[in-house]
Amino acid sequence: MRLIMLGPPGAGKGTQGGMLARALQVPHIATGDIFRQAVKEATELGRRAKSYLEKGELVPDGIVVGIVLERLQKSDCEKGFILDGFPRTVQQAEALEGFLHQEGKELTGVILLDVDPEVLVERLTGRRVCRQCGATYHIRNMPPQREGRCDKCGGELYQREDDREETVRHRLQVHESQTRPLRDYYEKRGLLSVFAAARPIEEVFAAIMEQLGRGRQ
Ligand code: AMP
C-alpha cells in the first residue's frame, strides 16, 4: 500500500502513520522526523533546514523532494510506504506523482485527518516528545506514567521548539496557505478519504483500517 497522511500539524499524522505502518508492515516516512534528526546530528541537511524548522516555515521544495525521492528508492519501499508530512505543497505532490509514474506505480490513497484549528493548538502546545526514541505524549490527553520521562525507554521528554504557541499558530497558517490546496489536488484524482480526527486515537485508526478494507472481520 502506498499511502499519504494529509492534515494540519497536530492532526495525528505521526501517531496514525506509525500505527498504520506497523499494521501494514511498510515503512513510515516522516519528513519532519528526517529533518529533526539531521538538525540533531548537525549534518549538511540539518544545517540547511534548521532555521526553517525553528520558524515553522516550510523547507524549500528543492531540498525536500530530493530527500524523499531518494528514500522511496530504498528496497524497503517496494511493498509500499506511509508518507507523513510529505507532500506539503502542490509542487511536491507533482514531483511525487512524476516519480511514481516513472516507476510504473500508483498511490493507493490519501488519508486526510480533519481537526478544528483550536483543538490543534491545544494538542500541539501540550505535546511532549522523547529525546531518545521519538515517542510522543500529551501533558493532559496522553501523559507519561512518570512526569517528564518516556514510558517506553525512560528517555527525557521535551517540547519541540516549534510546538510553542506562537510558532504553532504560524505553522497552522502555513498549512492553510500552502498545504490545503492538496485536498483538491487529491480529491480530483479520486484518492482522498477524509476522517474526523478529534476522536480517540483507536477510533480514528479503526475507521482508517475499515476504509482500507483491513477492518476487524
Ligand atoms: P512536522 O514534524 O511534519 O510537523 O514537520 C516539522 C517541520 O519540518 C515543518 O514545520 C517544516 O519546517 C519541515 N518539513 C517537514 N516536512 C516538510 C515538507 N514536506 N516540506 C517542507 N518542509 C517540511
- The answer to whether position 99 is within a domain reads yes
Helices 90-102, 61-72: crossing angle, 10 deg rounding: 30
Q: Is residue 217 part of a domain?
A: no
Task: Give the structural domain span for 134.
Answer: 2-211
Q: Is the pLDDT of residue 217 over 70?
A: no
Residues lining ligand 1, Cβ inside 6 A = 9, 31-32, 35, 52-53, 56-59, 64, 85-86, 88, 92, 162, 171
Q: How far is the CA of 139 from the centre of ligand 1 (A)?
A: 23
pLDDT on residue 215: 67
SS3 content of the chain, % helix, strand, coil (to 5): 50, 15, 35
Which pLDDT band holds residue 216 (cuts at 50, 70, 90)? low
The answer as to whether 75 is a domain residue is: yes
Report how many domains make up the chain: 1
What is this structure's pTM?
0.90
Q: Is residue 23 part of a domain?
A: yes
Domain harbouring 63, CATH code:
3.40.50.300
192: in domain: yes
Residue 118: is its pLDDT beyond 90?
no
Edge-to-edge, what's the strand order for the sheet holding 192-196?
28-30, 81-84, 2-6, 109-114, 192-196
Strands (E) in the chain, as ranges, are 2-6, 28-30, 81-84, 109-114, 127-130, 136-138, 157-158, 192-196
Q: Is residue 216 part of a domain?
A: no
- Classify residue 124: in a domain, yes or no: yes
Per-residue pLDDT, 141: 86
Return the active site residues.
13, 88, 127, 160, 171
The mean predicted confidence, pLDDT, of the chain is: 94
Query: Is 17 part of a structural domain of the chain?
Result: yes
DSSP-assigned letters across all residues of 20-60: HHHHHT--EEEHHHHHHHHHHTT-HHHHHHHHHHHHTPPPP
Cα-to-centroid distance, 95 and ligand 1 (Å): 17
CA of 215 to the centre of ligand 1 (A): 30
48-76, pLDDT tens digit by residue? 999 999 999 999 999 999 999 999 999 99
Ligand 1 mutation pick, 13, 35, 67, 172, max ligand atoms within 8 A of CB: 35
Pocket test for ligand 1, best of 29, 31, 162 (most atoms within 8 A of CB): 31
